[in-house]
Amino acid sequence: MEQVETQRAAARGSFGEVLAVFLRLGLTSFGGPIAHLGYFREEVVHRRKWVDDQTYADIVALCQFLPGPASSQVGVALGLLRAGKLGALAAWLGFTLPSAILMIAFAYGVTSFGGALDSGWLHGLKVVAVAVVAQAVWGMATSLAPDRVRATIAIVAAVCVLLWSTAFSQVAVIIAGGLIGWRLFRNAPALQISALYVPIRRSQAISFLVIFAVLLLGLPIAAGFSDSEALEMISGFYRTGSLVFGGGHVILPLLESVVVPPGWVTTEEFIAGYGAAQAVPGPLFTFSAYLGAVKSGSPNGVAGGLLALCSIFLPSFLLVFGAMPFWDQLRARISFQAALRGINAAVVGILLAALYNPVWTSAIETTEDFALGIVLFGLLAFWKRPPWVVVILGALGGELLARLT
């Protein structure tokens, strides 16, 4: 109890504090969801020490289990632990709004931004993502896969994800890692985990999970009996945010099926928005804000963009709020700690696989790219430069290489 009270006191951050931290992350976190986890780890674990590496890995493992945007859910969970439900909202607002605003602006016809999609600075940001993910893999492997058995689990997990690239492969690999860990580490010493004060009671958590299920089942029924295009829109985007495992680019087929067949968005508009989404920081799920804004018929514009954005992210809040109290209790049990050893090693393997595809394959095209990546990695890992500085230097380096070649 004393440890929980200590953690409760330490976690009394404010809405403004969490908003400021995640707004900076939202402005500088390029490179997709795996890179986002690297940025979060550097900022929240190393620089600010809100949680330790073990707790952070446990949160990442939980969010890999849940459907929806994993990196955004990790942010919501970190904000929840730091400053309660308002902290969760602050983390989401800070991380999401910069890219959402840019995507809505693009929907209003800022087509000149599209000309930057193949520019040198954008390619430099992709190289930054390589350095960020490489540092995250190295750091997490050191603490979460320090012995031969867990290193082997991580390597096998990476191989499986690379060779079996489906929406459910990551979930299957994590489950397998948990089973192996439970079998091999049952007699290992108990982990000295940090007791977490999750400011949500179990009864409240169950309520959030019930609301999630009721909306998932009830919104399509309500939309079917209504002529409201807004309700149909809420239903489609909520369903997408509820059923996508793996996040990131996996969301595209479901989004396309929601907005293109009804004639809300043309195929050309859909592809143009997807291209623009690659050039902005933050979560790819803010593509929904563009789709809601560019949509034909009411609601559209700013109102449509915000409606689509909130609808697609609402399941993440309900699932994280519903799962966190039970997850914290589970992770304190000896048998579950054994499973977590395997799960965390598998998470390291998933990050290792993502370092190659899509992060490395989309960024390292030439010897010069590799050289830039080495420099950026050194700045992060050895010179301990903050990520936002490395982002700026990476963009400048990418533009310089483009002009020289």
* 86/269: higher pLDDT: 86
Would 86 be classed as within a structural domain?
yes
Whole-number Å distance between alpha carbons of 28 and 49: 20
Would 180 be classed as within a structural domain?
yes
In this predicted structure, what is the pLDDT of residue 116? Answer: 52
Closest residue by Cα to residue 387 from 119, 20, 24: 24
Would 401 be classed as within a structural domain?
no
pLDDT digits (tens, 9 = 90+) for 6-50: 445 445 789 999 999 999 999 988 877 878 998 999 899 989 999
- The answer on pLDDT for 351 being more than 90 is no
Would 396 be classed as within a structural domain?
no
pLDDT digits (tens, 9 = 90+) for 169-181: 777 888 899 999 9
8 A C-beta contact, residue 79 and residue 88: yes
Whole-Å CA distances, 154 to 39, 70, 81: 21, 19, 28
Helix (H, G, I), strand (E, B) or coil at 198: coil
Closest residue by Cα to residue 80 from 205, 196, 199: 199
**What pTM, to 2 d.p., does this model score?**
0.76
Whole-number Å distance between alpha carbons of 96 and 286: 7
- The answer on pLDDT for 4 being more than 60 is no
Would 92 be classed as within a structural domain?
yes
Closest residue by Cα to residue 295 from 208, 378, 246, 234: 234
pLDDT band at 202 (very low <50, low <70, confident <90, very high): very high
The arithmetic mean of pLDDT across residues 262-268, rounded, is 86
Residue 57 is encoded by which pair of tokens? 């890995």
pLDDT digits (tens, 9 = 90+) for 100-140: 999 999 888 744 454 555 578 778 877 887 888 888 889 88
In this predicted structure, what is the pLDDT of residue 267? Answer: 81
HEC letters along 338-385: HHHHHHHHHHHHHHHHHHHHHHHHHHCCCHHHHHHHHHHHHHHHCCCC
* C-alpha gyration radius of the chain: 21
Range of the domain at 188: 10-122+136-363
Number of structural domains (the chain) is 1
- Alpha helices in 108-168, H assignment, sequence order: 120-144, 148-163
pLDDT band at 327 (very low <50, low <70, confident <90, very high): confident
* 1/245: higher pLDDT: 245
Whole-number Å distance between alpha carbons of 160 and 177: 11
Would 340 be classed as within a structural domain?
yes
Closest residue by Cα to residue 65 from 307, 287, 309, 330: 330
Whole-Å CA distances, 322 to 210, 310, 339, 345: 9, 18, 21, 25
The arithmetic mean of pLDDT across residues 76-82, rounded, is 96
pLDDT digits (tens, 9 = 90+) for 212-246: 999 999 999 999 898 899 999 999 999 989 877 65
pLDDT digits (tens, 9 = 90+) for 44-77: 998 999 998 888 988 988 887 788 888 999 999 9
**DSSP secondary structure code for residue 44 in this structure:** I
pLDDT band at 370 (very low <50, low <70, confident <90, very high): very high
Would 399 be classed as within a structural domain?
no
In this predicted structure, what is the pLDDT of residue 247? Answer: 56
